Amino acid sequence: MNKTLISLALLCGAATACLPAFAQVQVDNAWVRAMVAPQKSTGAFMTLTAAQDLKLVAVSTPLTPQAEIHEMSLQDQVMRMRQIPALALPAGQPVELRPGSYHLMLMNLARPVGAGEQVPLTLVFEDAAGKRQRLELQAPARMPAPAAPAKPEHGGH
């Protein structure tokens, strides 16, 4: 029995060692913002941690042919959203995709994504040599947590 366990452990270890190192991307807390009619777009959010330096270069979903990597940034005191060609994932450093920052934009959806629905996403990563790897996941759709109410100002009271 011990030989079987050792053989199984060696086999599993060898199988893991055969995987490309850049394929090791950890995805945490993935979710998609649930929609209400007549919305046609939504965002996907998550935290990505890569084992080595990578770039997220593409996203796709069967729900729409138009899925992009976006960032929001403050320009001239106005928040602006724009598509970016890639998102750098430094080795071992979590990169958070969240509302108001980096996120995945799913546009021109034929129907709203409802709360509780599982949304299939495919992420495409690229290493320094230009080799690409796909990662498929299911992200639950949900409404975002309500923002904390602003504290009233008391004018120096």
Distances (CA, A) of 134 to 77, 79, 112: 37, 31, 26
Select from 45, 90, 53 the least CA-distant residue to 71. 45
Q: Are the C-beta atoms of residues 24 and 11 closer than 8 Å to each other?
A: no
Fold of 21-141: Immunoglobulin-like (2.60.40)
CB atoms within 10 A of CB 121: 23
Q: What is the pLDDT of residues 78-113, one digit of tens each?
A: 989 999 999 999 999 999 999 999 999 999 998 999
Cα 36–chain centre separation: 22
Return the domain boundaries, the chain: 21-141
| Mean pLDDT computed over every residue of the chain | 84
Q: Looking at residues 112-123, what average pLDDT do you find?
A: 97
DSSP conformation class of 35? -
| pLDDT in the model for residue 151 | 55
| pLDDT in the model for residue 12 | 38
| pLDDT in the model for residue 82 | 95
Gap between the Cα atoms of 85 and 83, Å rounded: 7
**Beta partners for residue 118, in sequence order:** 140
Gap between the Cα atoms of 65 and 109, Å rounded: 9
